[in-house]
Amino acid sequence: MDPLDPLDVAMMAGELVASPMHVGAVLILSPPQDAGPDYVDALYRDALAGNDPVDPRLCRHPHRGVDTGGVWVWRHVDHLDLSRHCRRRTVSGDRNEFWRLIGELDAERLDRSRPMWMSYLIDGLDGGRFAFYIKVHHTVVDGVAGFQMIADALSTDPGHRSMPPFYADRRRESPPSAANGLVSRLVAPLRSLVGTAASSVGLIGRTVTGEISTVIDRLVGHTTVLPFEAPYTRFNGRLGPERAVAAGSWAKDRILAMQRATGVSGNDVVTAMVAGAVRRWLIAHGELPNRSLVAICPITVRGREYDAANDRHGNMFGLWLCPLGTDVDDPAARLNLIHRSMSEGKRWVAERGSAASLLTNAASIAATVIAPLLPFTPKIRTGCNLPISHVPGPGTEMYWNGAHLEEIYPVSTVFDGMALNVTTCSYADRIGFGYVAGAELMPDIDTLIPLTEECLTELESAVGVRGS
């Protein structure tokens, strides 16, 4: 058997009782100048032709049954029916209609009886543009690996044609022989068990010292928060079946100027923009708590030399609870608080590892996602309010079969207890913000886009940076 990692098991269990657990991305492209009227039709035909071998990560799905003794395992599929994974949609050119469609597609659960991913080719956008909406279950890839999978399918050469789709296998290693593959599958569970037993003492030690460190940091530096310290907001309620999605992008030069002026990271600036936008939205709805909102922030443990093509791990990240300073009027002070907290979080995860960070924050996560499932929930405190994460994208302008990639946006997971998710992605000279929420909890999610611009302008003014 090929068992799932514990984190992936938790995701499957969470999906069974609550919300879908997939991550997605929207890519908006313009066709090449020499494109004929059937350019998009040809792209879709090629996608269904299945002339390229499929990435092994996309040829398996989680399975649990009597045959596995109730244990979650990966079940591998020898042949994919691509017509069940690659679909086509058309919009009338209205951008609001497009994002409503993305919300509808994002709300649909992935079928657990087959590999859990979908790709939608959407045409009819203004100016002859078209888009891909791609979603993959979080047990298959995390955000970093997923965006790298997509980036690897693109090219910097606008003249490059006959390019395989994102789901094609790009692994450079040759597949193992049948004998070696069998031995590996038989030995892997034992090796995993031995490794887990050998590291348990160290993991427990890192977790205990992590709890102590968290308390000290909270009492002395106010750089993190304790369980049940986040205020209850509407984002901590139970989700309905519908989703709302909004997206926008900002020039990277403006973020870099803020970095240089303040000495913080680009992600710190972006997080402060999100914190300010959410703060303004809550004020407009008369719902801003007196206590600071708390974001749960993934911190990747993948190195700079991360090789997505030969990756064997779906998820590699730690977690950190970051106070957003929504109770602070001064945007510069809010940015400083976020910077100090995230700097400590990166050091903490690097020293203790992702597993220890997950265990240390388990109480806060449990308090957030389990409470909405209970019949009577005290709406006073919770573990955290929303996830905020940042994914690196391609650093230069990219193309796919001659089509120029103009915009790329993450569409991340929302679930009971955290009904608003914000993920950003850098691309070329811009940074895209993807806001996702339960439609009934945040029907006017599109207002976050102008609010984000207002908050960046406010930050620039506070630190003396001239916006562009």
CATH of residue 336: 3.30.559.30
Q: Mean pLDDT in the chain?
A: 82
Q: Which parts of 92-177 fold into alpha helices (H)?
A: 95-107, 143-151
Pick the range with the lowest mean pLDDT from 63-77, 110-124, 210-224, 282-296: 210-224
> What pLDDT is stored for residue 407 in this prediction?
96
Q: Taking phi first (over 0 means left), then psi (-120 to 50 degrees means alpha), and beta for anything else, what does residue 106 get? A: alpha
State the Cα–Cα distance between residues 84 and 122, nearest whole angstrom: 16
Is pLDDT above 70 for 275? yes
The better pLDDT of the pair 49, 228 is held by 49
State the Cα–Cα distance between residues 124 and 129, nearest whole angstrom: 7
Domain span at residue 383 reads 205-391+415-463
What tokens appear for 246 in the block? Answer: 């909004």
> What pLDDT is stored for residue 304 in this prediction?
42
Residue range 230-243: mean pLDDT, rounded: 92
| Nearest alpha carbon to residue 413 among 269, 298, 249, 268 | 298
Residue range 439-455: mean pLDDT, rounded: 97
- 412-151-83 Cα angle (round to 5): 70
> What pLDDT is stored for residue 8 in this prediction?
86
Is pLDDT above 60 for 223? no
Residue range 114-141: mean pLDDT, rounded: 94
The pLDDT confidence band at residue 6, using thresholds 50, 70 and 90, is confident
> What pLDDT is stored for residue 459 in this prediction?
97
Burial of 198: CB neighbours in 10 Å, binned 0-12, 13-18, 19+:
exposed
Is pLDDT above 60 for 138? yes
- Is 329 within the bounds of a domain? yes
Classify each residue of 370-387 as buried b or exposed e, where b means 16 or more C-beta atoms within 10 Å of its C-beta: bbbeeeebeeebbbbbbb
> What pLDDT is stored for residue 452 in this prediction?
98
What tokens appear for 228 in the block? Answer: 């049940």
Residue range 73-96: mean pLDDT, rounded: 93
Pick the range with the lowest mean pLDDT from 137-141, 297-301, 336-340, 447-451: 297-301
345 three-class SS: helix
State the Cα–Cα distance between residues 126 and 92, nearest whole angstrom: 8
- Is 310 within the bounds of a domain? yes
The better pLDDT of the pair 347, 443 is held by 443
> What pLDDT is stored for residue 405 in this prediction?
97
Contacts of residues 221-225 at CB distance under 8 Å and 24 or more positions apart, as own/partner, are 221/340, 221/344, 222/323, 222/337, 223/323, 223/340, 223/341, 223/343, 223/344, 223/345, 224/320, 224/321, 224/322, 224/323, 224/341, 224/344, 224/345, 225/294, 225/321, 225/323, 225/364, 225/384
The percent of residues above 90 in pLDDT, for the chain, comes to 56
How many beta carbons lie within 10 A of that of residue 226, not counting itself? 17
Residue range 256-275: mean pLDDT, rounded: 97
Among residues 61, 63, 137, 138, the one annotated as catalytic is: 138
Is pLDDT above 60 for 302? no
Cβ contact 394:271 at 8 Å: no
> What pLDDT is stored for residue 49 in this prediction?
87
- Is 81 within the bounds of a domain? no
pLDDT digit string, tens, across residues 361-416: 566 666 666 666 666 666 767 888 999 999 888 999 999 999 999 999 999 989 88
pLDDT digit string, tens, across residues 13-45: 878 767 788 989 999 999 999 999 999 999 999
Question: What are the phi and psi torsion angles at 164 (to 5°)?
Answer: -70, 155
Residues 6+ apart with CB under 8 A from 46: 165
Is pLDDT above 70 for 102? yes
- Is 198 within the bounds of a domain? no
- Is 116 within the bounds of a domain? no
- Is 323 within the bounds of a domain? yes
State the Cα–Cα distance between residues 279 and 297, nearest whole angstrom: 18
Residue given tokens 């034992």 in the structure block: 190
Strand partners, 86: 119
- Is 57 within the bounds of a domain? no
> What pLDDT is stored for residue 360 in this prediction?
62
> What pLDDT is stored for residue 319 in this prediction?
84
> What pLDDT is stored for residue 190 in this prediction?
31
What tokens appear for 458 in the block? Answer: 């406010």
> What pLDDT is stored for residue 83 in this prediction?
94
| Nearest alpha carbon to residue 211 among 229, 231, 226 | 226
Q: Strands, E, within 252-358: which ranges?
A: 294-300, 317-323
Classify each residue of 115-151 as buried b or exposed e, where b means 16 or more C-beta atoms within 10 Å of its C-beta: bbbbbbbbbbbeeebbbbbbbbbbbbbbbbbbbbbbb
Our count of domains for the chain comes to: 1
| Active site (annotated) includes residue 76 | no
> What pLDDT is stored for residue 217 in this prediction?
46
> What pLDDT is stored for residue 383 in this prediction?
86
State the Cα–Cα distance between residues 367 and 374, nearest whole angstrom: 11
- Is 119 within the bounds of a domain? no
Residue range 275-298: mean pLDDT, rounded: 96
State the Cα–Cα distance between residues 432 and 442, nearest whole angstrom: 20
Residue given tokens 């691309």 in the structure block: 427
State the Cα–Cα distance between residues 48 and 182, nearest whole angstrom: 32
